[in-house]
Structure 1
Amino acid sequence: MFKNAYVTLVNSPDYVIGAVALKRSLVRVQAQAPLICIVVPHSCDCKVLVDEGCLVKEVDAPVFSESFCLRHSREFLHNREPFDKGDKPDFHNPLNNFCKLLLWTFDEYDKLIFLDADTLVLKNIDHLFCYPGFLAAPNVYNELDGFHRMNSGVFVAEPSQLIYKEMLDKLDVPGAFWRRTDQTFLQEFWPNWHGLPYIYNVLQHLFIHLPELWRWDEIYVIHYQYEKPWQKNTFKKQLKPLIDLWWAVYQLQDVDTMLERLIADDS
């Protein structure tokens, strides 16, 4: 019997609400595997996650050199190449993104599906556990050339302590700079990452920039990159249908009826 799980990263108190909504979305689509929340000790209130039915794994963050931490700090990244496609929330710490690599140490599991804490699952994706790892979807949200880049908000992985060691050996080396932190690193570490269609990781700005690719009836996972739906007065008005949907899931409202209406509006 294979042992599988979904995994997310809760690296600050601000992502707890995102993880709760993610868990509720998995329950809504009758996902058959548990949701593991990777939590760095003392970084958030784990009781909320446990009460929601999540499995909490408190793990120590990888230890990086001082120069590596400096190059991947929020200030350094934003000064070198400012984010100009959307607004990253103030609580976003890019260095924490590397903590998701810790899931490769969970070798008590056969297969893991990682989902960022700012994603919602709209249709059951249990079938992805049958896919070989490593698989990810493209980073498409404003231009078609995004199909050539990976987005690490959703991926399928097979845990391995050996692979984790290989990752650490390649991650923090003299002069290493991973522009999009874990995403850039994983794309280089897994050069044959292609495999998942974009409908398994639909980035919310696609709704604005490439609406012809937004098909409500085909979407499996929405990824709220940049602005988070639970932030007040930060989201773009064009994203209101997506924000309303996130709140409907979080507040346990009638999501099916809302989706039926959105699909009908697409027709």
Structure 2
Amino acid sequence: MPVRILESTSKRAYVHLLTDGKYLPGVLVMHKSHLDTKSRYSFVVMLTPGVDQSVRAALQSRGIIVKDIEYLRPPASKHQLNDYDKRFSETWAKLRVFELVEYERVILRDIDMLLLKNMDDLFDLSIPHDHIAATHACSCNLMKFRHYPSDWVPANCPYTPLTWPSCLDRATAVTKNSPRCHHLLNGGLVLLHPSLEMARHIQNALYTSPQIRKYRFPDQDLLADVFKNKWVPLPYVYNAMKHMRIAHKDIWRDADIKCLHYVMDKPWQYRPLPPSATSGVQRETQLSTTLASCKAGGSLLEGAAMRRIQQEFDELVHHWWAAFDELELEMSGSEHWDVIEENVNRHPVSVFNAN
């Protein structure tokens, strides 16, 4: 099947970061869903040094625009992550997006996402040039991680006050009297205006701010500080984090979602068992492995709660694998398939690092 190359002369682009070949399946499925939802704008991937040439070739074979960038990190003495959250150690580089001044407007997106509906309308949102737009962070702490802030509880979550269907076109307003958690954004999707002046301002904060050592979620905590009172909350459907399907079931409707965000474990790290296996030994083995992984990461969840959550997550992960199966039909005969296949786990129990 010929590859659909989507070039755009627009000054608008969707931008993504890739730092390691193990995330290649996520990028390519994300790109496929970008094409399938008929976006009018370019799909750009920022590559850090050290990404293998075979990964670059696979991206370019799909018509993806590649931008080479340098790493971006605070001084080692200023910021440390616990073992479970070391997956965030390279995400500072996402902030290089502000240097892409060849574009007037950019939507920065994570690559552990799946587009279910066209979201080009977001580019038309009116925000001041020195502002950004993003969805709130969900501060319910569904997985009960003991190292998360103590005020991360449902009562303080900005999604808790929302109701359906008004949640589809509005978010909880942030005021000076709002709980601290209402001021936190999720960095998985950010609408912004690239600017070298802003890039320098952000990097200066990264290198000099005393707040850096307190950040648990690197790039998004920095953005929340730099753009305090200068970010516009977006409806959750533009960045629907998978755990919200459980934590905020009153507002979640699968049919409403534009962009599904697979936070934490990535969908290409395991293939969920079919419903026919939900009561079998394999299912219990998968749940036991997942629970052990969560415990190692500091979760206080017990078996019954984890079983319910895992079953909900699996339903969403099936969507990703359906898109991957279609991608395989398009690419399996190509010279690039091996590098994709080696980073995918088709088994129900993950053999990859949960990061």
- TM-score tier, shorter chain, comes to 0.7 to 0.9
* TM-score where L is the length of structure 2: 0.63
Matched, 1:29 2:32: no
* TM-score where L is the length of structure 1: 0.82
The one-letter amino acid paired with 2:201 is E
The one-letter amino acid paired with 2:265 is E
Kindly indicate whether the alpha-carbon contact (under 8 Å) linking 1:72 and 1:94 is maintained by their aligned counterparts in 2: no
Q: 1:250 to 1:129 in 2, by over 3 A?
A: same
- Structure 1 segment 100-249 matched on structure 2, within 5 A: 100-131=94-125, 132=127, 133-140=131-138, 142=142, 143=154, 145-147=156-158, 148=182, 149-173=184-208, 175=210, 176-177=212-213, 178-191=215-228, 192-232=230-270, 236-249=310-323
Kindly indicate whether the alpha-carbon contact (under 8 Å) linking 2:109 and 2:189 is maintained by their aligned counterparts in 1: yes
Larger radius of gyration: 2
- SS state of the match for residue 231, structure 2? coil
Q: 1:36 to 1:74 in 2, by over 3 A?
A: farther
2:69 alignment partner, one of 44, 59, 62: 59
CA-to-aligned-CA distance 1:87-131 (integer Å, 9 cap, x gap): x6xxx6322111000010000001101110101111111111112
State the identity as a percent: 26
Q: Gaps (5+ residues) in structure 2? A: 1-8, 143-153, 159-181, 271-285, 291-308, 328-355
Q: For the residues of structure 1 that align with 2:73 and 2:88, how far apart are their CA atoms?
A: 15
- Structure 1 segment 78-97 matched on structure 2, within 5 A: 78=84, 93-97=87-91
Q: How many residues align?
A: 237
| CA RMSD between the two structures | 2.1
Matched, 1:8 2:16: yes
Question: Which of structure 1's runs of 4+ aligned residues deviate more than 4 A?
Answer: none
Q: For the residues of structure 1 that align with 2:81 and 2:63, how far apart are their CA atoms?
A: 33
